[in-house]
Amino acid sequence: MEIRKSSADLYAAYKEIAQKAADLNNASAVLGWDQEVYMPSKGFEMRGRQLATLASLAHEMLTSEQYGNLLNELAGRGDIADDEKRNVELSLEDYDKNKKLSAAFVEAIAQQTSASYNAWIQSRKENKYSIYAPHLDKMIALKKQQADMYGYEKHPYDALLDEYEKGANVQLLDAVFGDVKKQLPPLLDKIKQAQQVDDSFFMRHYPKQQQWDFSVDVLRAMGYDFEAGRQDMSEHPFTTSFAPTDVRVTTRVDENNYASLLWSTIHEGGHALYEQGLPIEQYGLPLGAAASLGIHESQSRLWENNVGRGRAFWQYFYPKLQQYFPQQLGDVSVDSFYKGMNKVAPSLIRTEADEVTYHFHVLIRYEIEKGLISGELFTEDLPETWNAMYDTYLGVSATDDKTGVLQDVHWAHGSFGYFPTYSLGSFYAAQFYGQAVKEIATLGDDITNGKLTGLTDWLRGKVHVHGRRHTSEELCKQITGKGLDFNIFMQYAQQKYAGIYGL
């Protein structure tokens, strides 16, 4: 006679497999962090092998027949708790999706990611796109194959978008970026006609150590736990998490441009707070993971822009910054500093762009990605296409590859479908921050007095604690009473820049 296992036993078996796979993926993340921060240049080939092995093992665990049987049996049980039920539902969705990819394909992607990243680093060093192009071409071929394996109804890019923003598709994003193309240019034109603000003081010499020390002060004030994380330097700032108890950020420094380090640190700090705020008891399970990259980006952009580029924040922090840099900022008022940090001007570098022009940078990448995946664009044409789009949307054009098509690491990582989440995140951020202002009566005064953890606590309760329980739109409706509304971002931007530029 067959003895039917209890739901508790089945759930424990499911949880053990999911968490062991998470252990493998997080071990990969440690190796990935090391690759971008400390690894010697000769290590790339073997690191690629190591990452591929771990990715393949994790994939095998999460696509095994045993795992699938556990999920399907649990899904049919009616006696498990709500959190357990949601974990099973989401894991079953992931399982069905992962089953579409072979272990050999997962290994090939991991190996190509390491090779592409190495080529991107070399290309940036030599300022030659031609070194990177053949590796990018191989990555695009793999991503097209992945889209075909997943399947899609209308556009192959839809299959890749779903990896980062569940439910998003070309139709939805075309509408969002249609609003960007329609509503942002008039604001940008008004700003161009106004008297430009002065930000020249950012280009004075700011020693690295003082920049670093102040950025650590800000991270601590935000609530970032240095006993559960650290900050390092990398070619491209990023956040990586191995568990809520170990979440690391990186930044980069330019001693002749103060804006380069600080807002990268605040941005990555916002990502890190989200990861540190995820429920540790749900480690390795869907409810212990972020809702989406759009929501993840909302946390970083909220801290970077709505807080870190806000006047209230600098009422408290500017005198402290002047103590670090008395010679550089002794003759600059807080009002001038605030206006300078929010200067709007078309530029080439996405990560250093202002809040208005930033979304044209994302739009360009979105349109290029769609074309590469659909086969309408080819890698050999990218520098020319890139520059033509920059000229069309922003009226600027790169004079070299490093400030043009080589500036982002995402395609080297195979992250096609990632870029749109940057704009979605900014729009969610404006909506969430507006709601926080309504619900936290003392928020303005708190920020003016350097008390930032009240906002962190609000975000923990509204966003972080839920993990992947809700889609981005569901979460937005739960927090603000409605789905994503681009007009809220526009109202925020118009009000902010009217004050700065006297519009």
Q: Distance between CA atoms of 455 and 266, rounded to whole angstroms?
A: 14
61 in Cβ contact with 24 (< 8 Å): yes
163, 268, 367, 369: which one is catalytic? 268
479 in Cβ contact with 461 (< 8 Å): no
Told to judge if 268 belongs to the known catalytic residues of this protein, a careful annotator would answer yes
For 205, list phi and psi in degrees, rounded to 5.
-85, 120
Show Cβ contacts of residue 205 under 8 Å, excluding neighbours closer than 6 positions.
255, 256, 328
127 in Cβ contact with 400 (< 8 Å): yes
3-state secondary structure of 463: coil
The Cβ-side half-sphere exposure at 444, using a 13 Å CA radius, reads: 6
Q: Distance between CA atoms of 363 and 183, rounded to whole angstroms?
A: 14
Tokens in use for 226?
A: 């240095």
Tokens in use for 385?
A: 């296409």
Which residue matches tokens 């990896």?
163
SS (H, E, C) 286-341: HHHCCCCHHHHHHHHHHHHHHHCCCHHHHHHHHHHHHHHCHHHHCCCCHHHHHHHH
DSSP characters over 237-294: --EEEEETTEEEEEE---TT-THHHHHHHHHHHHHHHHHHHS-GGGTTSGGGS-S-HH
What sign results for the dihedral spanned by CA atoms 444, 183, 482, 464? negative
List active site positions: 268
